[in-house]
């Protein structure tokens, strides 16, 4: 990029900074903020302020080096431009790219946020109580706040061991690549992670496995299953040397969930969804500094793929437990 073009983009970023309404978690999306495409629901990208406080190990670094080293999802040049145009601030003030941060300072990163897409199917209600609503959510919808214990089932490659298997291997997540790796327990890389696995059934070619994460790291179950030699059978990101079609022509957890949900949906409701898809296929504002534009989904999400063969079957808290139905893919066909 030549110097003049970079200066023009930075000036545009500064100009935009005076016009943007920065959103917070207190401003949830409204129906008109959704875009429906091919059975997938997106939230229109919006401007958002991410806030963090300088940790002791960050102190003494320049503001640009801090972001480039700790938040590797964007290139170094982006952080330089973001600081120059005020998209990155310290204690609410603009700073230079050579500014040295101090412990406990508040750092703000104003971004054009692209949320991960989710399946657009209905969410079946399992149980209604006065203070609790229990639903069977599609696998693509993120929830929870670390306060709930969960048990999953997965469909994996090969004949899983009969005896209980506990995998203790650090999880090292690479934000730029959007994937994790398993490291030895005492490695300096990654964070400590542990998962307990128990085989439910097997036909020799594939197995259904109960997965109980003891910790909660990014892609933990997927990485630990690969580490065990039995990756999830339709996990294109982590599968070893086999490939499986995860397109809409295949079967998946999300496809099964949507199939069950559709059975509960009337033809009138389906027509409404189709109409919404046609009317909502509109564009959205492109941010010249955004590293995800012009795509709707953030980097690392292939919207042509459906959900993994990984499904939560039990949620439990201090004095309650809820169980979810098994998806269709959890029924193995015996091989001859």
Let me know whether 103 and 32 are in one domain.
Answer: yes
Domain final residue pick, 62, 83, 113: 113
3-19 and 76-84 helices, crossing angle to 10°: 60
Contact 23, 101 (CB under 8 A): no
Q: Give the whole-angstrom CA distance, residue 180 versus residue 172.
A: 5
Q: Which of 11-20, 134-143, 243-252 has the lowest mean pLDDT?
A: 243-252
Let me know whether 133 and 158 are in one domain.
Answer: yes
Q: Which residue pairs, CB below 8 angstroms and at least 24 apart, start in 29-34?
A: 34/276, 34/280
Q: Which of 119-123, 189-193, 299-303 has the lowest mean pLDDT?
A: 299-303
Let me know whether 14 and 144 are in one domain.
Answer: no
Domain assignment present for residue 251? The answer is yes
Q: How far is CA 33 from CA 45, 126, 138, 206, 280, in A?
A: 9, 28, 20, 41, 9
Let me know whether 79 and 130 are in one domain.
Answer: no
Q: How confident is the model at residue 83 (pLDDT cuts 50, 70, 90)?
A: very high
Domain assignment present for residue 270? The answer is no
Q: Percent of the chain at pLDDT above 90? A: 37
Q: How confident is the model at residue 66 (pLDDT cuts 50, 70, 90)?
A: very high
Between 12 and 81, whose confidence is greater? 81
Q: How far is CA 331 from CA 149, 155, 174, 179, 228, in A?
A: 24, 9, 34, 28, 22
Give the range of the structural domain holding residue 76, as residue numbers without chain letter. 3-37+46-113
For 182-192, the pLDDT digits (tens) are 887 777 788 99
Domain final residue pick, 113, 133, 151: 113
When the pLDDT of each residue in the chain is averaged and rounded to a whole number, the result is 78
Enter the DSSP assignment of 193: -
> Which CATH number is 204's domain given?
3.30.2350.10
Other beta carbons within 10 Å of 73? 16
Highest mean pLDDT among 196-200, 277-281, 319-323: 196-200
pLDDT at res. 21: 56
Q: Give the whole-angstrom CA distance, residue 141 versus residue 316.
A: 18
Residue 254: pLDDT above 50? no
Residue 9: pLDDT above 50? no
pLDDT at res. 308: 82
Domain assignment present for residue 287? The answer is no
Domain assignment present for residue 215? The answer is yes
Let me know whether 321 and 190 are in one domain.
Answer: yes
Residue 331: pLDDT above 80? yes
Let me know whether 107 and 218 are in one domain.
Answer: no
Residue 164: pLDDT above 70? yes
Let me know whether 92 and 150 are in one domain.
Answer: no
Q: How confident is the model at residue 4 (pLDDT cuts 50, 70, 90)?
A: low
Query: 23 pairs with which residues across the strands?
Result: 48
Residue whose pair of structure tokens reads 């295949």 in the numeric block: 250
Contact 284, 112 (CB under 8 A): no
- φ/ψ (deg, to 5) at 67: -65, -40
Let me know whether 177 and 106 are in one domain.
Answer: no
Let me know whether 137 and 104 are in one domain.
Answer: no
As given in the structure block, the two tokens for residue 215 are 């910790």
Domain final residue pick, 71, 92, 113: 113
pLDDT at res. 327: 87
Write down the H helix ranges in the chain. 3-19, 63-70, 76-84, 220-227, 253-263, 267-280
- Model-level pTM? 0.56
Query: CB under 8 Å to 270, separation ≥6 — which residues?
Result: 262
Read off the pLDDT of each residue in 273-292 and give the average, rounded to a whole number.
Answer: 64
pLDDT at res. 163: 95
Query: 106 pairs with which residues across the strands?
Result: 53
pLDDT at res. 27: 67
Q: Which residue pairs, CB below 8 angstroms and at least 24 apart, start in 272-278?
A: 273/36, 273/120, 276/34, 276/36, 277/36, 277/37, 277/120
pLDDT at res. 245: 41
pLDDT at res. 285: 83
Domain assignment present for residue 211? The answer is yes
Highest mean pLDDT among 18-32, 50-64, 305-319: 50-64
The number of distinct structural domains making up the chain is 2
Q: Give the whole-angstrom CA distance, residue 91 versus residue 212.
A: 41
Domain assignment present for residue 166? The answer is yes
Q: How far is CA 237 from CA 21, 78, 108, 226, 243, in A?
A: 36, 27, 32, 10, 10
Residue 299: pLDDT above 80? no
Read off the pLDDT of each residue in 286-304 and give the average, rounded to a whole number.
Answer: 80
Let me know whether 134 and 246 are in one domain.
Answer: yes
Q: Percent of the chain at pLDDT above 70? A: 72
Residue 157: pLDDT above 80? yes
Read off the pLDDT of each residue in 247-266 and give the average, rounded to a whole number.
Answer: 34
For 88-111, the pLDDT digits (tens) are 999 999 999 999 999 999 999 999
Residue 156: pLDDT above 90? yes
Largest CA distance in the chain: 69
Q: Give the whole-angstrom CA distance, residue 116 versus residue 229.
A: 29
Let me know whether 206 and 320 are in one domain.
Answer: yes
Domain assignment present for residue 192? The answer is yes
Question: How close are the terminal C-alpha atoms of the chain, in Å?
Answer: 60
Let me know whether 173 and 196 are in one domain.
Answer: yes
Read off the pLDDT of each residue in 217-241 and give the average, rounded to a whole number.
Answer: 88
> Which CATH number is 27's domain given?
3.10.290.10
Domain assignment present for residue 284? The answer is no
């Amino acid at each position: 990029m030549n110097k003049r073009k970079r200066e023009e983009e930075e000036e545009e970023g500064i100009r935009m900074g005076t016009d943007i309404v920065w959103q917070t978690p207190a401003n949830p999306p409204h129906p008109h903020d959704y875009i429906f495409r091919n059975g997938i629901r997106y939230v229109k990208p919006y401007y958002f302020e991410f806030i963090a406080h300088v940790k002791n190990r960050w102190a003494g670094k320049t503001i640009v080096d801090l972001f480039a080293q700790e938040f590797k999802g964007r290139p170094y040049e982006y952080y330089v431009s973001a600081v120059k145009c005020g998209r990155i601030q310290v204690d609410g003030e603009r700073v230079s790219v050579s500014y040295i941060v101090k412990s406990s300072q508040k750092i703000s990163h104003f971004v054009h946020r692209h949320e991960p897409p989710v399946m657009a199917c209905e969410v079946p209600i399992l149980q209604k109580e006065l203070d609790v609503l229990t639903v069977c959510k599609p696998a693509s919808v993120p929830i929870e706040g670390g306060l709930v214990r969960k048990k999953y089932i997965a469909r994996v490659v090969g004949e899983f061991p009969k005896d209980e298997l506990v995998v203790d291997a650090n999880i090292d997540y690479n934000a730029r690549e959007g994937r994790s790796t398993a490291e030895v327990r005492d490695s300096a890389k990654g964070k400590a992670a542990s998962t307990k696995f128990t085989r439910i059934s097997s036909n020799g070619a594939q197995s259904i496995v109960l997965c109980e994460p003891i910790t909660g790291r990014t892609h933990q179950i997927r990485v630990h299953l690969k580490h065990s030699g039995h990756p999830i059978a339709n996990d294109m990101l982590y599968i070893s040397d086999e490939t499986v079609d995860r397109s809409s022509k295949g079967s998946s957890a999300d496809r099964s969930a949507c199939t069950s949900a559709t059975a509960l949906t009337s033809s009138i409701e389906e027509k409404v969804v189709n109409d919404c898809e046609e009317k909502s296929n509109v564009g959205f504002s492109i941010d010249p500094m955004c590293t995800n534009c012009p795509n709707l989904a953030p980097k690392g999400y292939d919207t042509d793929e459906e959900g993994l063969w990984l499904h939560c079957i039990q949620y439990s808290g201090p004095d309650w437990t809820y169980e979810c139905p098994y998806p269709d893919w959890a029924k193995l066909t015996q091989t001859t």
